[in-house]
Amino acid sequence: MWVHLRIELYKIFRKPRTYLAFAAITALIAVIQIGLFVDGKEYTEFVMADFANSFAVDGKILNGYFICYVILQLLLIHVPLLIALIAADMISGEANMGTLRLLLTKPQSRTAIVTAKFLASVIYTLLLLIWIAILGLFVSTMIFGTDDLFIMKSSYVVIVKESDVFWRYAGAFCFAALAMVTVASLGFFLSFFAENSIGPIVATMSVIIVCTILSTMNIPIFNIIKPYLFTTHMITWKEFFDFKVNDANEAIVGSIQYPERIIHSSIVLLVHIIGFAGGAILLFRKKDILS
Amino acid sequence: MKSFNIFIVVFLFAFISVNVSAQDVNTLVMKVKNKLDQVNDYTAEGKMKTDIAFIKAPVGGVKVFYKKPNKFKLQRNGGISVLPKGGVSINIGNMIVTTGFTAIDAGFAEIGKVKTRIIKLLPNGDNNDIILSTLYIDEANLLIMKSITSTRENGTYEMEMRYGKFAEYGLPDKVFFSFNAKDYKLPKGITLEFEDTDQATKDKLKGKKGRVEITYSAYEINKGIADSIFK
């Protein structure tokens, strides 16, 4: 299977669209960084307008950690499209080119072949996230420096101590990886049903858009299904940036306010990954390959 | 006629006692002012704890700079600090004012276990930001134990002081600063927090007084400070 995985990775990285995704991420992050470098003061003043009426905030709010948080908030909504471009093409692309039957003539089980394809799309997803981490976190801290992380939530403000931030990003990126692998597995699952790439890519994005809208709309009838939608749990990475306080309202360094939410969301996402990927493997084993 | 004489005596007694009391109050304020005037400048290091219901912030080190007559700067030793506007800049230079204000004796009160004299300072002019300042003064040691300052723009602030090693200069070891913390809400589009805060958390965040606690560990008094620090 290792050989087949290498072949699949080779195929992925031979496609120009793979690099298009990395280029798009680079451009998006550069745009955010340049924008905040030039007009960051105005941006923070706008964001904090209400808060600044009552409080004086002293310190370097616009630091690398804050920029990375902004990047993650914006990018994790758009990255699924770039992941779908590759993951939703894994089987349908071969079917479209007519190489699927040829591929299955190899002396390997169908399970090994399809698992290698899935793992290749997972590796691509992880590389994309590592690239976001390099540009969003490391390059941002090099340009903007580091300080405490100042986050404005809808009802309260969180200031995370500089020394307490990095491990939270490590956790947030690991969680984001889980969320993005869920998207990859959905695209991979849908690619099984079509013989061209466009259909599964559009279908993946449509599912994500519809589910995201359902997750964000605060209408009682949708609240019943919200806990089961993977899009509801994709934003749980933010829980890493909220900590517990003691009775005297003193921050407990190194704590997470709701660790159970992270565990619950991770389980839901894992179930989705197993469901989509497992479903694709099971169906592929019995599929009548005609192309 | 007899009753008229009694009325005159009572009136004179009341007038004299009010006058004596007013003089006492002014003298006391001046004595405290003179004690604080020993300090031309100081640098202090300490720890600051912010206890505001809707702000989660770690305890951090602070450095405070003061220079006569009214230069004051509170600087966090690295990191980001959030302080109520206007209030924390109340310092020994402007906490007690002797010109442009009328001092009124308002009786006695106990702060902790210390008996204090309550003095209300009312501004004579109409354009002053401070509407009323109430001082609780430990007469024996000439120390301001508590002050309540009502301002036009920034609400009411309460400061309580605890003294130790630097009491001879009128400088506190610990300052508790309380104020009315307003609720605030941001549009969700800005925060990208689509998950609404649960009701229990919302209730916890409401109607609580904000409090900033600064514990000073060391003062450097009258060693000279450059004006550039306050820019």
State how far the alpha carbon of B198 is from the alpha carbons of A211, A221, A257, B204, in Å. 22, 18, 13, 10
Q: What distance in Å separates residue B49's CA from the closest CA in chain A?
A: 7
> Cα–Cα–Cα angle for A16, A17, A20, nearest 5°?
95
User: Which residues on B lie below 8 Å from A150 (Cβ)?
Assistant: 80
Nearest by CB: A159 against B53, B74, B82: B82
Nearest by CB: A245 against B56, B181, B184: B56
DSSP 8-state symbol, B126: S
Q: What distance in Å separates residue B19's CA from the closest CA in chain A?
A: 41
Using the Cβ of A152 and the Cβ atoms of chain B, whether some distance falls under 8 Å is answered with: yes
User: Which residues on B lie below 8 Å from A251 (Cβ)?
Assistant: 56-59
DSSP 8-state symbol, B134: E
Q: What is the pLDDT of residues B14-54, one digit of tens each?
A: 434 444 454 578 888 888 888 888 888 899 998 888 888 78
User: Which residues on A lie below 8 Å from B51 (Cβ)?
Assistant: 248-250
B83 contacts A58? CB cut-off 8 A: yes
Q: What pLDDT is recorded for position B88?
A: 57
- The model's confidence at residue B11, banded by pLDDT at 50, 70 and 90, is very low
Q: What distance in Å separates residue A173's CA from the closest CA in chain B?
A: 18
Cβ within 8 Å of residue B117, ≥6 positions away: B25, B28, B105, B107, B108, B136, B137, B139
B51 contacts A73? CB cut-off 8 A: no
Q: What is the pLDDT of residues A90-103, one digit of tens each?
A: 888 888 888 888 88
List B115's β-bridge partners, or say none. B110
Q: What distance in Å separates residue B82's CA from the closest CA in chain A?
A: 5
Question: Which of A45, A50, A54 to probe the B interface (max B CBs under 10 A)?
Answer: A54
Is residue A175 predicted with pLDDT exceeding 90?
yes
Lowest-confidence pick of A45-49, A235-239, A247-251, B98-102: B98-102
The predicted complex's ipTM stands at 0.76
Q: What is the pLDDT of residues A126-148, one digit of tens each?
A: 999 999 999 999 999 999 999 89
B188 contacts A55? CB cut-off 8 A: no
Nearest by CB: B81 against A46, A59, A74: A59
Amino acid at A158: V
Q: What pLDDT is recorded for position A193?
A: 86
A159 contacts B57? CB cut-off 8 A: yes
Dist CA B192 CA A81 (whole Å): 19
Asked if A68 and A76 touch (Cβ cutoff 8 Å), the reply is no
User: Nearest residue on chain B to A223, judged by CA atoms?
Assistant: B195
Q: What distance in Å separates residue B42's CA from the closest CA in chain A?
A: 21
- The model's confidence at residue B86, banded by pLDDT at 50, 70 and 90, is low
A to B CB pairs, distance under 8 Å:
118
A54 contacts B184? CB cut-off 8 A: yes
Q: pTM score, two decimals? A: 0.80
Exposure string over A64-83, b if 16+ CB within 10 A, otherwise e:
bbbbbbbbbbebbeebbbbb
Using the Cβ of A227 and the Cβ atoms of chain B, whether some distance falls under 8 Å is answered with: no
Dist CA A170 CA A127 (whole Å): 15
State chain A's mean pLDDT as an integer.
Answer: 88
